[in-house]
Amino acid sequence: MNYFKLFNLSEDYFIDVTDLSDVYQTKQRQFHPDRFASASDAEKLKALQMATEINSAYQTLKDPIKRAGYLLLLQGIDIQNEMVTLNDNAFLQHQFELRERIDALKANTKGNSEELLINLAILIQEINMEERVLKNDLFIAIENDTWDEAATCLRKLKYYERLLTQVDELEEDSVH
């Protein structure tokens, strides 16, 4: 089932999230389990499957990065389940350096949570700035239908997601 068609939206990166939310609410009410309490088991199962699909579609389309990944999937590029290695040595080297900085922060600021939090804030700001540039590149690639370029941008964004997860974990550990 095409998620865009499910919500009566055009297959485009830029969508009206308010329209998406309105259609989502309507469809959720339409397939809510309470409406099928006296239905046959087959009808209950079908309604449950539809409600699950609606939730999945909504979660995908409301998030700009997931939406981009879904648009790529519609183009035959499955970012989630691929085993593609990036061939951008400069990017990979930079990722390695960022990970080394995270490791150094872990090792060098034990017991000094204030210093760690300041350094983490600086690192987060840097990562967010780089991520914004990459997201802009992704959006331009999608708008220009340069799907391979969009896929590369999305692959790179996943590296930043992992970095931010590591930083969040380190930040949580320092607070506790």
> What does the pLDDT look like over 7-59, one tens digit per residue?
999 999 999 999 999 999 999 999 988 888 888 889 889 989 999 999 999 99
**What tens digit of pLDDT does each residue of 96-125 get?**
999 999 998 888 766 677 888 888 899 999
Token pair of 81 as six digits:
């389940």
Q: Are 67 and 13 in contact (CB under 8 A)?
A: yes
List domains and CATH numbers for the chain: 3-62 (1.10.287.110), 89-175 (1.20.1280.20)
Q: To 5 degrees, how large is the angle CA 123–CA 124–CA 125?
A: 90
115/159 Cα distance (integer angstroms): 25
pTM (whole model) above 0.75: yes
Contacts with 75 (C-beta within 8 Å, 6 or more apart), sequence order:
147
What mean pLDDT comes out for the span 148-159? 94
- CA dist., res. 114 & res. 105, Å (int): 12
Q: Cβ distance 20 to 61 under 8 Å?
A: yes
In the DSSP assignment, the letter for residue 103 is H
Q: How confident is the model at residue 132, as a pLDDT?
A: 96
H or E element at residue 17 = helix 17-30
Over residues 128-136, the mean pLDDT reads: 96
Under a CB-based contact definition with an 8 Å cutoff, are residues 141 and 149 in contact?
yes
> Is the Cα torsion angle 44, 50, 53, 54 positive or negative in sign?
negative
